[in-house]
A and B are shown apart, each in its own frame.
Chain A
Amino acid sequence: MRRPRRSSPRTRMIMVILALVFGAGAVYGFAVGSAGAQKGTSVNPTPATPPTSDAQRQQIARGRTLFLDGCSSCHGNDARGKQNIAPTLVGAGSAAADFYLTTGRMPLSNPTDQPTRAQPAYDRQDIDALDAYVGSLGQGPSIPKVDVAMGNIKNGLASFTLHCAGCHQVGGAGGIVTGAIAPPLNESDITPTQVAEAIRVGPFLMPNFNANQLSDQDINDIARYVRSTVHPDDAGGWGIGHIGPIPEGMIAWFLAIASLLLIARLIGEREPR
């Protein structure tokens, strides 16, 4: 009935061009920061708790092999980043690794590109190993546990409106912030875990939210709401793309103008000659 919407290549192209225009319009002095700047509380990351079992140690070792193979060209052999190319992963946490890898955002061919959703480059086992390796580098957010069944869709809408809708639109259709595209969230292949990871990690230009600001229950609510945007209940009857007030206003104007014209035609009926 309603097709799960995935923006067409043309829409994406337009969005990218818009983002480039906005990005180019803004003139920024690039601060030559150290490659050590990290988001979240992990500014000076504390060491991760050491692995307790042999299985964990093996997993981390396998992850390190995969890392050296596929990630180290940008993030460095020690995962501490390379100046002006890629950030350190120490303290990024397994949540960040899992988010970037399961959504196919990493590996990234050009370090200055915005990472966008794609087919994951690794299978689940490899991602688990890489998650374990990145998680072992320093204390960072671990992969959150989400239970959508525990979520309250009404509270989810309220939290989403307050914290997320500014960029992602209240219907989850995505939007633009200067310098980046806020990706659409109303796609059926986005998992609740990925939503929770993005909230905790704050990928690319997105702000991050810690447990004091959005509790795990808030995240259950939000994940539940985000999932509901895939097949929205268009109580008004017509979604108009779910991208907010501008098309709604245009529809209102065009319908209003059409009906006004109709009324004018009725009032101004001419006498037959």
Chain B
Amino acid sequence: MKSRSPRGELVVVGSLLAAGACAVAFVLLYIFDSHNTQLLGLSLGLALVFLAVASVVAGRKVVDQRKGVEERPVLVQEDVEKEVAERAVALREGVSRRKLIVGAGALAGAGVGVAAIAPLASLGPGNVSETLKASPWKKGVPLVDDNDKLLSVDQFEVGSWTTAFPQHADKRALGSAIVVVQILESEVLKNPQWAPRGIMAYSKVCTHAGCAISLFRYPTYEPTSQPPALVCPCHYSTFDVRKSAEVVFGPAGRPLPQLPLAIDANNNLVAAGNYDGNIGPAWWGVRKGT
């Protein structure tokens, strides 16, 4: 029965330890640098790959795959008893190896198990709504385009639109990107005080699944087509900009948060306050803001 391969066993043990290490790395990354999704994915993925390697090598090289039929011997014969005792002694050598593999397996299992459970912390109370509510906008923050140029009122005309950001802020933050559109002042049916000259701004993050609102429609002639609206490209949620981005079609559950606008002394657009609602896709208790 000496068909075991010591090299195979080494590979199995090594892979199991590596899997455990990767899983632990995932947990540490999750705790200390959870924004780095690439590394999170890489570490968890590697842990699973090492587990798979260990299983495959164990199956092919370590566990004896031979099949055989043994005749049942006559029970209790003195010489057989002796042989069994000898074999039991011989087997004890193997026990340490067995223990090593089982130990490594337990470590890998525990590591991956903890890695799988750790993200549950994200469901917990507390920090969730804080990160989602963080907004770089407050009264007087100027709007800039993607090249950090101030947005002048002259840049707009009825039926035009653009993407804008707060000046001197992280453009990649959830609350940063807004879409700015201009419609006729007479078309603004809700919150006209936030829409000087019919120019209005909304969060660019769809309230349904968090896609970037990248479609704007403005009718050449409304009676024979559709009223102006912002549309999300992912599931076609359609927000009526005349009515503070009320949802008129699609799966979104609440309007896009509106950013009140004002015009400063140099004819540039500035924020007149923070959003009127919670930015980003829905979470538990989004309507209460907690």
Contacts and interface: CB of A to CB of B under 8 A. Distances in A.
B75 to A, nearest CB: 33
B167 interface: no
B225 A179 contact: yes
B209 to A, nearest CB: 14
Contacts of B215: 166-167, 177
Given A177-B231, A205-B217, A206-B218, A40 B159 contact: yes
Interface stretch (B23-31, B92-100, B150-158): B150-158
B182 to A, nearest CB: 9
A81 B220 CA distance: 12
B248 A28 contact: yes
B217 A166 contact: no
A180 B226 contact: yes
Contact of A178 (B152, B181, B214, B226): B226
Contacts of B214: 165-167
Contacts, number: 122
A33 B158 CA distance: 15
B249 A204 contact: no
A271 B60 CA distance: 12
B224 A86 contact: yes
A31 B155 contact: no
A51 interface: no
Interface in A201-245: 202-210, 212-213
Contacts of B233: 166, 175
A210 B155 contact: yes
B187 to A, nearest CB: 8
Interface string B216-249: 1111111111110101010010101000000011
Nearest to A30: B223
Given A27-B248, A165-B214, A179-B217, A213 B225 contact: no
A27 B249 CA distance: 8
* B-side interface size class: 35 or more
Contacts of A14: none
* A-side interface size class: 35 or more
B217 A162 contact: no
Contacts of B154: 212
A204 B217 CA distance: 9
B225 A207 contact: no
B249 A26 contact: yes
Contacts of B225: 112, 114, 179-180, 204-205
Interface in B180-194: 181, 184, 187
A41 B159 CA distance: 9
Given A33-B223, A86-B221, A166-B214, A208 B159 contact: yes
Contact of A202 (B159, B163, B226): B159
B161 A207 contact: yes
A93 to B, nearest CB: 12
Given A39-B218, A213-B162, A31 B184 contact: no
Interface in B139-158: 146, 152, 154-158
B160 A207 contact: yes
Nearest to B223: A84
Contact of B146 (A39, A162, A165, A176): A162
Interface in A1-39: 22-23, 25-28, 30-33, 35, 37-39
B243 to A, nearest CB: 10
Given A162-B163, A207-B218, A112 B158 contact: no
A118 interface: no
A55 interface: no
Nearest to A113: B224
Contacts of A250: none
A26 B248 contact: yes
A87 B221 contact: yes
Nearest to B157: A41
A23 B146 contact: no
Contacts of B159: 39-40, 202, 207-208
Interface in A76-90: 81, 83-87
A43 interface: yes
A198 B154 CA distance: 20
Interface in A156-199: 162-163, 165-167, 175-180
Counting chain A CB atoms within 10 Å of each CB, the highest count among B162, B187, B231, B250 belongs to B231
B56 interface: yes
Contacts of B223: 30, 32-33, 35, 83-85
20 contacts: A22-B236, A22-B249, A31-B227, A40-B157, A41-B158, A86-B221, A87-B220, A114-B225, A163-B162, A167-B215, A176-B236, A177-B217, A202-B220, A204-B225, A205-B218, A205-B226, A207-B218, A208-B218, A213-B156, A271-B65
Given A23-B226, A202-B159, A205-B217, 17 more contacts: A26-B238, A28-B240, A31-B227, A84-B223, A111-B224, A162-B163, A165-B214, A178-B217, A178-B229, A178-B231, A178-B236, A178-B250, A203-B220, A207-B160, A207-B216, A212-B154, A213-B162
